Structure 1
């Protein structure tokens, strides 16, 4: 029995001290993060639980501004990149923790068609549209409509995107609910409705460095697992060719745990060269599912911090922080460099409206779009 326990011990994952917690519940606390240039107040809501985790959400971009969690020795660190003032979010936008949409990721040439009618969105990424356009959901002030403390503390934010916003048809009402429970599950639920046929693909763009957002360790040592047999190769503008390609024998194979940095500079792989690292969609499924499924696992050997990422979406965009260029400093007043963080975005596939056989991005009146994302935060002893 003793030998068995010794063999199993390294594999035991604990959800940040899941021992019995005190009877009192977590808290959701409002504060003022800053003001926009026109004087509008940017509200912040901090969600905390009794196990040492806290998430700060700001109304600008419905953004996850920070996530603080303990390491294996109980030392707390903020593991999400971002700024400590609204001025930097306005002057140096980097999608840090932001809600991105109406259409996350890229649309080729910024165009799509619905029922024979063509629509044009702003070109803001080379020849293509990225994350909804020049003024996407990440660059608007959302309304805080609900704040609740308790065993599940939460905040709900809302934005009403008017008809023809960034060229998209229909008035779209979007809700973003962040919740934190006592099992250290941080969940982001996105829902959207429309009064006219449109497209929707909304996700969160958090940058993760599990050693701490100001740590010199960067993110190349993070151990990542992605349960996908295929990924979508792209052209040099990050638009998929169409057909999925097997990950077997390539730097895109994360079916077993691998460090991000092991193959991120593999010059033999043209896809890596074009993107300067990883910036691709892994095919987890082919359609949105009623229930969540595992999208990825991330583990930091240095701190012991990690998470499982679950969602109901079919695709996972994995980005290795390739364009953090050392011109931006964050909350710890440390420069963010290439490879200092990774991004994992559950979503439908890039350019889906223009690709045959890709998941459906169409949203009709009377339907509700839903992307449910959960980070199951863990610490490995």
Structure 2
């Protein structure tokens, strides 16, 4: 490992729960509790548990994934995503979209504006759906599913003009935990006026379950031969470039930290990996997009998606000021994000896959995070 001191791996991973033994069998189901209140509204937490003891925790604030607990190669359970102990962490300024649903349009839009059907729309912000995007809304929750698939549907109604976007938009996100240790995320939206929609989830993964403070040794494999060139503000220029012979190439598994400090414009601009990969899958079918393997715990994460793009972000701006679960401080490169989505700035880039949704149409997208382990020791 080159750019990050290996000694950091001996630290307890920031924002992660301590591992605990996995039970042989757990009764599957959903539990609900009051998580807190904000702006006079109650926020609830839902815990989805499958027969293998895997858990997914969600709150109605931002339709956010607050925790995912999975077994390592020894069968010990541990948290693999970052989160906070209380609602104040999610509503506070230090929350960098931890586990949140992002929309109405995820990622960046140049100048915070676009023209649609001859009319220009000015947005409240140029990134992640605006200054008060879906990540800051209270969602309605409905319990669904069966023994093999425990599910929770989150719903939100985005009024015409919210964030500067046209159209009343009805959004449903269904989180399903299967008996195969898969978390399925199904997005659905309809509108009464032509608008733009691009939804994603912003979970921060560290698969070590408390064994590694950074993700530098996690081996990443991304099924993409190209990426989007971006300017100094990480806005796509419109050019699509190849990854071969660059430190951006993850077409074969590579430790995340091996080349993260290399002299490459994308790495310098993003202070690490923060770029959009053009996935080989451009047909809208559910296919494998990326695989991450964490050598200390043996955990494997496979990301499947119907989306054409994958934003790979390595927590470049995490720092000790971000104190999360257990009041533990974070560090740079403590986690990575795999944000499945359409390309950033698509509303201003006609050559990119379109994000327009019209009345009578249904926006649909699916992402699956599949968890497993490798038996070999590091």
TM-score by length of 2: 0.90
Determine the structure 1 residue equivalent to 2:44: 43
1:316 deviates by 0.3
Matches within 5 A, 1:1-381: 26-38=28-40, 40-91=41-92, 92-123=94-125, 129-212=126-209, 215-266=211-262, 268-285=263-280, 287=282, 289=284, 291-381=285-375
Q: Take 1:84 and 1:194, find their aligned partners in 2: how far apart are those partners?
A: 35
Distance in 2, Cα, partners of 1:356 & 1:250: 27
How far off is 1:286 after superposition?
7.3
Once the two structures are TM-superposed, the CA of residue 317 in structure 1 deviates from its matched residue by: 0.4
Counterpart Cα distance in 2 of 1:227 and 1:139: 32
Q: Distance in 1 between matches of 2:264 and 2:98?
A: 28
How far residue 150 of structure 1 moved from its aligned partner, in angstroms, is 1.8
Q: CA deviation at 1:332?
A: 3.0
Following TM superposition, by how much is the alpha carbon of 1:145 offset from its aligned partner in structure 2, in angstroms? 2.7
> In the TM superposition, what is the alpha-carbon distance from 1:84 to its structure 2 partner?
1.5
For these two proteins, the number of residue pairs brought into alignment is 352
Partner secondary structure for residue 292 of structure 2: strand
**Structure 1 counterpart SS, 2:236:** coil
What's the CA shift string for 1:114-171, capped at 9, x where partnerless?
1111101123xxxxx1110110000010011334452100100100000000000000
User: Residue 26 of structure 1: CA displacement?
Assistant: 2.0
Structure 2 distance, partners of 1:369, 1:292, is: 15
Which structure 1 residue ranges, 5 or more long, are not aligned? Answer: 1-20, 124-128
The whole-number CA distance in structure 2 between the counterparts of 1:227 and 1:286 is 8
Residue 229 of structure 1 aligns to a residue whose secondary structure is: strand
Q: Is the 8 A contact 1:110 1:120 kept in 2?
A: yes
Structure 1 position 34, deviation (Å): 1.3
TM-score, length basis structure 1: 0.89
Kept in 1: contact 2:322–2:330 (CA 8 A) = yes
RMSD in angstroms over aligned alpha carbons?
A: 1.6
State the alpha-carbon separation in 1 of the partners of residues 26 and 311 from structure 2.
38
Using the TM superposition, give the Cα deviation of residue 216 of structure 1 relative to its aligned residue in structure 2, in angstroms: 4.4
- Structure 2 residue runs without a partner (length 5+): 1-22
Q: Is the 8 A contact 1:26 1:181 kept in 2?
A: no
- Aligned partners of 1:373 and 1:356: how far apart in 2? 25
CA contact (8 A) 1:28 1:149 kept: no
Distance 1:147 1:330 in 2: 30
CA contact (8 A) 2:281 2:287 kept: no
Q: Whole-Å Cα distance in 2 between the matches of residues 99 and 24 of structure 1?
A: 28
